């Protein structure tokens, strides 16, 4: 059973902070690239942060919209990924999704090794 479960969302005022968690099970967590996406009504799903697998050094990368405000991290011993969100803005309001993908460019079809959480709502409002 493969499962990704997000937690930590909710309502927060502009300028505030939240920390999202994604607990993974059913696959070899440290061999996967982990990602956070978000999606708001009327907008395309947006990749906002990536943290690479152990094989790729665990390097993090961010979309320009969150650069400097959000921090992605992972604890491989706990099979958990985090997203620390600071200085939140109303435009950060979205459903946030945890995503995992195997770190292997030779695999032609990644659908068998790509997993999604069900999403969690972050509502930034005053």
Contacts of 108 (CB under 8 A, 6+ apart): none
Over its length of 126 residues, how does the chain's per-residue pLDDT go in tens digits? 899 999 999 999 999 999 999 999 999 999 999 999 999 989 999 999 999 999 999 999 999 999 999 999 999 999 999 999 999 999 999 999 999 999 988 888 888 899 999 999 999 999
CA distance 70 to 54: 21
């Amino acid at each position: 059973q493969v499962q990704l479960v997000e937690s930590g969302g909710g309502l927060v005022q502009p300028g505030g902070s939240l920390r999202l968690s994604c607990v993974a099970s059913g696959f070899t967590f440290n061999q996967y690239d982990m990602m956070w996406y978000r999606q708001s009504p009327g907008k395309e799903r947006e990749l906002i942060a990536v943290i690479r697998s152990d094989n790729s050094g665990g390097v993090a990368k961010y979309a320009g919209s969150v650069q400097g405000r959000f921090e992605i991290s992972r604890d491989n011993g706990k099979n958990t990924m985090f997203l620390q969100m600071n200085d939140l803005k109303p435009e950060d309001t979205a459903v946030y999704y945890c995503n995992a993908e195997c770190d292997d460019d030779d695999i032609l079809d990644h659908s068998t090794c790509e997993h999604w959480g069900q999403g969690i709502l972050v509502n930034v409002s005053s």
